[in-house]
């Protein structure tokens, strides 16, 4: 069985950036956001249910889902989030399990932005948190997604707090500075996970 390390953190904490550095070390990635996107693309009945719920204005002019608009509809409304989660989560769960079962390496990095918000933390063997101070997070969100300061603040407020994430995480990478400053931590954690994976496999086989 593959040892599962969940990689999580708030928006623009640097999850994708850091996951790609692990990938450079040969670590397979399973990305919850990519799976969510592919589930919607590959299953027409899901898109049809989203259209029935929100109307055709939820689509882009090319007929595909306007993901930005969908995010706006759900992020401040718990009821809408619950509706979308109950539609997508069973399929995402199935696809995630399948992809992890196909991994041939001893451990997999499972990138899950909303690990705590969606109570998925007990599905991982270990949790790696990418932590960043809100001031830097806000600057990065505004630069990356071209949104206003107020919109960025709203997104941050809708997510788990730093404290909530820190309580449940085993390991933390603090990504406030230059990326070069975290290379050593990544190498250290990679070696640690390889060792923990061996112990896990000895126990479970
Ligand atoms: P997430 O996947 O957590 O949303 P990303 O990895 O996409 O975050 O990073 C968000 C943005 O911040 C990207 O534009 C990325 O290039 C930038 N970024 C991430 N880490 C750093 C860093 N240490 N220094 C400068 N920019 C960074």
pLDDT at 76 over 80: no
Query: Ligand 1 in contact with 10 (CB < 6 A)?
Result: no
- For the domain spanning 1-28+105-205, the CATH number is 3.40.50.300
Nearest Cα residue to atom 1 of ligand 1: 12
Rounded CA separation 88/49 (Å): 11
Q: Which atom of ligand 1 is nearest to the CA of 9?
A: 3
- The pLDDT score that the predictor gives to residue 32 is 96
| 9 Cβ closer than 6 Å to some ligand 1 atom | yes
- Phi then psi for 10, rounded to 5 degrees? -70, 175
Average pLDDT over the chain, rounded to an integer: 94
Is any ligand 1 atom within 6 A of the Cβ of residue 170? no
The helix/strand/coil state of 13 is coil
Please choose, from the candidates 122, 130, 124, the residue with its C-alpha nearest in 3D space to the C-alpha of residue 165.
Answer: 130
Least Cα distance to 168 among 96, 110, 136, 120 occurs for: 120
Phi first, then psi: give them for residue 64, nearest 5 degrees.
Answer: -90, 165
pLDDT at 65: 92
CA-closest candidate to residue 173, choices 161, 187, 160, 159: 187
Number of CB atoms found within 10 A of residue 95's CB: 18
- Tens-place pLDDT, residues 78-111: 899 899 999 999 999 999 999 999 999 999 999 9
Which amino acid residue places its CA nearest to atom 10 of ligand 1?
A: 12
Alpha-carbon torsion, ordered 124, 40, 154, 76, to 10 deg? -100
Structural domain boundaries of the chain? 1-28+105-205, 36-102
Query: Is 126 in a helix, a strand, or coil?
Result: strand
pTM: 0.92
Measuring CA to CA, how many Å separate 121 from each of 17, 80, 159, 172, 200? Answer: 21, 22, 15, 15, 18
């Amino acid at each position: 069985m593959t040892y599962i390390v969940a990689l999580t953190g708030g928006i623009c904490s640097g999850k994708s950036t850091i996951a790609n550095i692990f990938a450079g070390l040969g670590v397979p990635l399973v990305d919850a956001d990519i799976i969510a996107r592919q589930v919607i693309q590959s299953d027409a009945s899901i898109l049809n249910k989203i259209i029935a719920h929100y109307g055709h204005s939820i689509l882009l002019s090319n007929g595909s889902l306007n993901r930005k608009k969908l995010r706006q509809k759900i992020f401040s409304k718990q009821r809408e989030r619950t509706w979308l989660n109950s539609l997508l989560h069973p399929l995402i769960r199935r696809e995630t399990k399948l992809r992890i079962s196909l991994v041939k390496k001893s451990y997999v990095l499972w990138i899950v932005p909303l690990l705590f918000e969606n109570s998925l933390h007990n599905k991982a063997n270990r949790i790696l948190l990418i932590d960043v101070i809100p001031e830097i997070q806000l600057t990065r969100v505004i630069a990356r997604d071209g949104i206003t300061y107020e919109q960025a603040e709203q997104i941050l407020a809708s997510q788990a707090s730093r404290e909530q994430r820190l309580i449940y995480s085993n390991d933390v990478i603090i990504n406030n500075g230059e990326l070069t400053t975290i290379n050593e931590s990544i190498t250290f954690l990679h070696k640690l996970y390889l060792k923990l994976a061996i112990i896990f496999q000895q126990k479970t086989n």
